Structure 1
């Protein structure tokens, strides 16, 4: 008995075209359309997404406002003491410290300058705590801000003969003068440490700049302290050295604010990547049969609707993953 088809030439198999990106997208869309959603579930999920998106937007705006304090505090403080120093009689910017502007009849202007600078620096420290790379660094910047506020609460003693009629150096320091010096030194040390702390999580260029700023700030502040202690070779330029030191500090804080506000900011504490997030950059979210870029955030990484993300491995395959526990009914 002859077997059917035996000896008959079979046609060649049809070649299978490689799977393209469009084919993968169609397969993904079919997988999404297979999920049965009730109108109640869709409405509940949409409301939840809108609420979380609005909350995330408000958080980002608050972070930007707080971090902007680090940008404006330096120029505002510098312009104020320069203008006030130029308007004071017998005040020599090259010789006298900035704190001496808080003495005399018009001392309230520099006192207000200390208060505004301290509050802006404190707001900047809060912004660094919320969105910065280091909580320890944010705490150190906060100590620096408290040191600025202490300059308004405890005025300094007369230094280098200002106000007029006072000796070059007092024989006995007052209590408020001692507190002014001690609290200011604590703030200076804290800012120096912050330069080293924030240098760790950045790039090589940022680390070099941050460490150099910390070293130069500490060195110039030590020279200014020696000048105000009536060191003969430095007393005539003590005010200039202090202004250079303060400018280094404000410039570093402004650059830190720009560095934190930049587009590459990514806080892993507040915005942890999901298990499906294997690539850098914005995650690809699939919802409603469309693909769109979604920036990582609390609303996107925890509850972005039904589909949580797209997995992209070495072979650049795409897979849809339904949120665990969801079976087409309204979530609790």
Structure 2
């Protein structure tokens, strides 16, 4: 009997150790996931703040007229380059966190993948700097010669903005079938359309500006509308997920203590 009791106690201790290990692992994964999702709230805020402040204070630069990428040029260009890379890494982390949160169901794979592509595109935009355009930096022509890194930057911009817009449409499918995300399907579709239209409009008026048809075009303003709309969508989604995760923590802790 004593031997059987010892065996039973040993078995219970082993099961308890396994449960504690699984609990600790789950808590660690939860913390990591929250940190990754938090990057989706921090990145957009950081990017927009740097873009607006630099655009308002950079000598010779016009936020109304010039592309945001043009802030990567000149002596202070490193600030926007760093902005691209840091926010790209934060967005990539958010995409990983989103996949950990949305493990199954519609868009659980392609939504995070497309946002990951968007994050990588931001990093590429920082590495391959744009060419001078629309008279910035001061002293350059409205339409200057194309370089290899400038061409890569331009092609990458299409992929980057395109992946963000498609991510909005893909995630809208998921939100449409989830009562916990009421209204987000429409919001996602509107954001995706706004990102696409903003990119197209900025490209068209920029081309008209370079050809002399529309000098002083609002290229920068049109681009910023799409940028802020897209970043805002990511930030609000991240904040909503974090809020839901926080509301679930007390319940889990209460269950573990009982």
TM bucket by the smaller chain? 0.7 to 0.9
Task: Determine the structure 1 residue equivalent to 2:187.
Answer: 209
- Asked if structure 1 preserves the Cα contact closer than 8 Å seen for 2:206 and 2:217, the reply is no
- Find the counterpart in structure 1 of residue 116 from structure 2: 142
Alignment of 1:121 with 2:99, yes or no, is: no
**Mapping 1:69-80, distance limit 5 Å:** 69-80=39-50
Q: How does 1:269-308 map to 2 (within 5 A)?
A: 293=255
Partner Cα separation in structure 1 for residue 236 and residue 49 of structure 2: 18
CA shift for structure 1 position 76: 0.6
Please give the per-residue CA displacement for 1:95-123, whole angstroms capped at 9, x wherever unaligned. Answer: 01111111111111111111111111111
RMSD: 2.1
In structure 2, C-alpha distance between the alignment counterparts of 1:164 and 1:263, rounded to whole Å: 48
Does 1:224 find its partner at 2:207?
no
The alpha-carbon deviation at position 235 of structure 1 amounts to 5.0
SS in 1 for 2:75: coil
Using structure 2 for the length normalisation, give the TM-score.
Answer: 0.84
1:104-115 to structure 2, matched below 5 A, reads 104-115=74-85
What is the TM-score when the length of structure 1 is the normalising length?
Answer: 0.66
Greater strand content = 1
Residue 29 of structure 2 is aligned to residue 62 of structure 1: no
* Pairing 1:181–2:154 present: yes
- 1:44-71 Cα offsets, whole Å, 9 max, x none, are 1111111100000001110000000000
Alignment of 1:76-115 (within 5 A): 76-115=46-85
State the alpha-carbon separation in 2 of the partners of residues 77 and 234 from structure 1: 28
Find the structure with the greater CA-based Rg.
1
Return the structure number with greater helix share. 2
Does the residue aligned with 2:208 lie in a helix, a strand or coil?
coil
Q: Give the match's secondary structure for 1:200.
A: helix
The 1:234–1:259 alpha-carbon spacing in structure 2 relative to 1, beyond 3 Å, is: farther
SS at match of 1:230: helix
Say whether the 8 Å CA contact 1:118–1:148 is kept in structure 2: yes
- Contact kept? 1:169, 1:229, Cα under 8 Å: no
Aligned length: 233
Q: 2:233 aligns with which of 234, 246, 252?
A: 252
